[in-house]
Structure 1
């Protein structure tokens, strides 16, 4: 019984001490709020922040959403195609109304505006949704002072660097365009509590510093209402800035496009040499080495992954296959010209038919005189017929090799033309 009384006494004592302690805290807080400062700015901040709760959304009527207007002042940008992200250096500007930050300017020497650190105010938890790195502080507004007007209007300008995920599409390298999105929204509040809207002028690019490698083509902005079947009674709106940038191709024309055209020309010029000449083999080997160096250079500058394989790499690959084809044809024709056998009869028939036209003369012979043509057709000046039994085997083989070479020039030229058209499409 005695122990029970002691326990009751101790409990009552603890409760009384707790109540008295809370009373003292309230009294001290009230005395601090009532304390007046000689300077108007200090009095203003003391009075406004006296009972201000930065955890409570700044609306007297909690059923009314706080409208946040957003504007971006873009300063510079860059794109890393190897790491796949767009970097934006910008001033993110936010405007809203805080019903708890209002005062009468006449009570404070006519002060109509002042600044408050963000640590002292309620700040919307606006976050960068598609950040390149998701760790760390995801909130955009931090470590700045906000501008507050006597009627409760608040403006916060948060400068920062925003790295946004953007997978590179290098299909048309070096004439590629990239489309990247910068998405922001509230992290915790629903659209019924914090309503995100664009400012009258959603983006300002008057102070934009141009990028030496990329050109900004267009910027669009859209608002996503954030409706989802999972939450029929709530919305989670977000604001999306879409940037379209285009690579400045002048430098890459000199280092990627012009060398590719040079490789095409080299391959076609090789076919103007006769297959039996050793210089032709030497040039083909040089052409193969040049293609390999070219492909290595392109692959060094272009990432090995992305949405699409660059067309210029496919072009270099196909051109290398063509050079190997030329090498194979050269080896075959060299063996034919050195063979003691005559060229195939079907080949002679096609050559004879080709020589019956002027175009065939231009393709197969370099000397367009009637005497030379007559010799090739086994005639002498149109008067004496050459003995068909005694044929010049060496001349027949050389003519057949020339016919194949000219045919390859036409086919390879058409193939390269097709590859160029596919590259441009």
Structure 2
């Protein structure tokens, strides 16, 4: 029992001594490396040698794509590595220690910036202190998570079926390519940890290395190296199809039903104006979403064209109502109009022959009058003179009343004939209104369909 306790104490003592020795070893290595280290100097082997900086980018989350301000907000994991000739040691001399982790503020770091950065509050890649990992061969590895706000030129000509390309150019701001050369750790950016975005589908994340010359005040044409990661993504259009495109199409074709409303209903114009106001609301919604650019998307052009067609349709309806309004005066339809619209055009529009002959005009001749023969048979027996006088007076009164009845009857017959004639004329004008509405209906449907097909074909 005493022996086992002795062994346990020895083991614990050995572990404590080993741990203490390891801590002291790292402290000694740190003092050895940073005793005369100056992080302000570029850690190259010779003053004229080029320091190679490798960079890798992993996209984890596409936070926001603001088309209005043409900016991209993304969550990135940046990895940068370079060789520091002042931070090398022989691992065999330090009991096999091959790595050492220190705060990033202790070592020299390349002045890598994002060229498309538009974040006015940007003060560095990390808002808190990060660490770098030092390898015995002098390789320094710096891994930092960051959220970037970069500019991205948006092309919305195919909205909501558009594809966008946003470059993320990383490179030094002060050091030229003679001093610092950028290289990509891989042929493309990583999407391993990417979280699925509800609005965008990432297609590719390629990496390209460039050396480009920029003019400066005192040194014209100095080349600078950079690595550009091009993020290509496509919009998921389902949301916009059901919430923006489909209602717009429904309103466009709903406008065509206005031509089927009869002239007698007073809701024809108010119905068309209501639909026109609804399509104007869609235009305002598009203006809030899309950037201010001359490159108008096809859906915006279609909405504008729909507004124009609706305005023209309302104007045509007003014209039809003005031409075919018979409430004040009744004008006979010209013969050419009857043949062209009610016969030829009506048959072409599958409405049949609607001419039905020309209505007769009202004749001013007097109607048939009652012919009344008052054959008063005189009695063979002579009447009394007094009785004969009373009989003549009664006969004259009866004849006068009959003539009044005859005039009233003639007036009623003339009035009824005039009403029938006016009703026939009104029927002709109503028929003309139906023919014109059917004609404008086909023109509107054909124009809307052709425009829709053309816009879809240009996607």
Taking structure 2 as the reference length, what is the TM-score of the superposition?
Answer: 0.73
Is 1:347 equivalent to 2:379 in the alignment?
A: no
Corresponding residue of 2:317: 330
Residues 304 and 100 of structure 1, relative CA distance in 2, 3 Å threshold: closer
Corresponding residue of 1:243: 231
Is 1:69 equivalent to 2:57 in the alignment?
A: no
Q: Deviations over 1:177-225 (max 9, x none)?
A: 3221111110111101100011134411111001112221222322221
Q: 1-side partners of 2:425 and 2:221: how far apart?
A: 92
Q: 1-side partners of 2:261 and 2:170: how far apart?
A: 64
Alignment of 1:209-220 (within 5 A): 209-220=195-206
Residue 261 of structure 1 aligns to a residue whose secondary structure is helix
Q: 1-side partners of 2:251 and 2:221: how far apart?
A: 64
Residues 417 and 121 of structure 1, relative CA distance in 2, 3 Å threshold: same
Is 1:314 equivalent to 2:314 in the alignment?
A: no
Is 1:295 equivalent to 2:321 in the alignment?
A: no
Residues 307 and 113 of structure 1, relative CA distance in 2, 3 Å threshold: farther
Corresponding residue of 1:102: 88
Residues 131 and 98 of structure 1, relative CA distance in 2, 3 Å threshold: same
Is 1:122 equivalent to 2:112 in the alignment?
A: no
Q: Tell me how large the CA RMSD over aligned residues is.
A: 2.8
Q: Which moved more, 1:36-45 or 1:330-339?
A: 36-45
Is 1:91 equivalent to 2:77 in the alignment?
A: yes
Corresponding residue of 1:25: none
Corresponding residue of 1:22: none
Alignment of 1:213-292 (within 5 A): 213-228=199-214, 234-292=222-280
Contact 2:187–2:207 at 8 Å: present in 1 too?
no
Q: 1-side partners of 2:110 and 2:128: how far apart?
A: 10
Taking structure 1 as the reference length, what is the TM-score of the superposition?
Answer: 0.79
Q: Deviations over 1:51-109 (max 9, x none)?
A: 11212221222222011111111111131223321112111111211111111112222
1:318 to partner: Cα distance: 2.4
Q: 2-side partners of 1:141 and 1:267: how far apart?
A: 57
1:283 to partner: Cα distance: 2.0
Q: 2-side partners of 1:233 and 1:396: how far apart?
A: 83
Corresponding residue of 1:191: 177
Residue 100 of structure 2 aligns to a residue whose secondary structure is strand
Alignment of 1:2-21 (within 5 A): none
Residues 37 and 204 of structure 1, relative CA distance in 2, 3 Å threshold: closer
Contact 2:182–2:227 at 8 Å: present in 1 too?
yes
Alignment of 1:27-176 (within 5 A): 39-77=24-62, 78-134=64-120, 136-137=122-123, 143-176=129-162
1:412 to partner: Cα distance: 1.1
Contact 1:98–1:154 at 8 Å: present in 2 too?
yes
Gaps of 5+ in 1: 1-35, 379-385
Corresponding residue of 1:204: 190
Q: Deviations over 1:354-389 (max 9, x none)?
A: 36xxxx536252xx6xxxx4xx354xxxxxxx5686
Residue 38 of structure 2 aligns to a residue whose secondary structure is coil
Residue 274 of structure 2 aligns to a residue whose secondary structure is helix
1:304 to partner: Cα distance: 5.6
Is 1:416 equivalent to 2:402 in the alignment?
A: no
Q: Deviations over 1:282-313 (max 9, x none)?
A: 4223222322333333334x146245233333
1:138 to partner: Cα distance: 5.2
Q: Between Structure 1 and Structure 2, how many residues are aligned?
A: 370
Q: 2-side partners of 1:172 and 1:72: how far apart?
A: 29
Gaps of 5+ in 2: 1-20, 362-420
Residues 141 and 115 of structure 1, relative CA distance in 2, 3 Å threshold: farther
Q: 2-side partners of 1:155 and 1:362: how far apart?
A: 81
Q: Deviations over 1:106-129 (max 9, x none)?
A: 222210111122211111111111
